[in-house]
Amino acid sequence: MMRSTLSIAVLALVIMVCVPSDGTAEEKPVQLSLFTPLQIYPEETSITALRFNLIYGRNASLTGLDLGLVNHLTSGESKGVQIGFASWVDADFTGLQYNTMNVTKGTFKGWQWGFINYTGHARGFQLGFFNYTETMYGLQIGLINVIREGGFLPVFPIVNFSF
C-alpha cells in the first residue's frame, strides 16, 4: 500500500511539474524551510518543483511536491501532491492531499486523504474521519460527511455524494 501511494505521488509530481503555472509571482524550483520566515526564499515566492518544510513553510503557490509537517499556500492556483501532518491552502488546489488534516479554502480538484478534510468546493474524492465541503461533485467516505449544498443529504455517515 505504501509503495502504491509513493508511486502515485511520484507520477503526480511528474505530471504537475510539466504543467505550466500562471507566473503571477516570482518562481523558484526548490524551497527548504525550517519555519517561515527561516526559509531559502521569501513567502511571496511560488515553488515549481519541490518544497520541504521541516516545521512550517508558507509560499504563494506550488506546482510539484510539497512535503513537511505543516504546508501552507496563500494565493494563486496550486497543483501537485501535499504530504505531511497538515496542509492549508488559502486558494485553489488540484492534485492529492495526503495529511492528517487537509484544508483548501477555495476549489479543490482531486483526492483528499486524511483524518479531517475541508474544502470550500470539491470536485473529486474525500476519504477521512470527517469530510466537509460547501458544494461537491464527487464522493465522500468517512464517519461524518458534510456537503452543505446539493449532496445526497447535508450530513450523512459512511458515504455522501453529489453528481
Give per-residue pLDDT as tens, 113-158: 999 999 999 999 999 999 999 999 999 999 999 999 999 999 999 9
77-91 burial: b if 16+ Cβ within 10 Å, else e: bbbbbbbbebbbbbb
Residue 43, SS3 per DSSP: coil
pTM: 0.84
CA distances from 43 to 4, 51, 64, 160 (A): 32, 12, 16, 37
As beta bridge partners, residue 63 has: 79
Give per-residue pLDDT as tens, 54-112: 999 999 999 999 999 999 999 989 999 999 999 999 999 999 999 999 999 999 999 99
Residue 22 CA, distance from chain mean position: 18
pLDDT of residue 16: 47
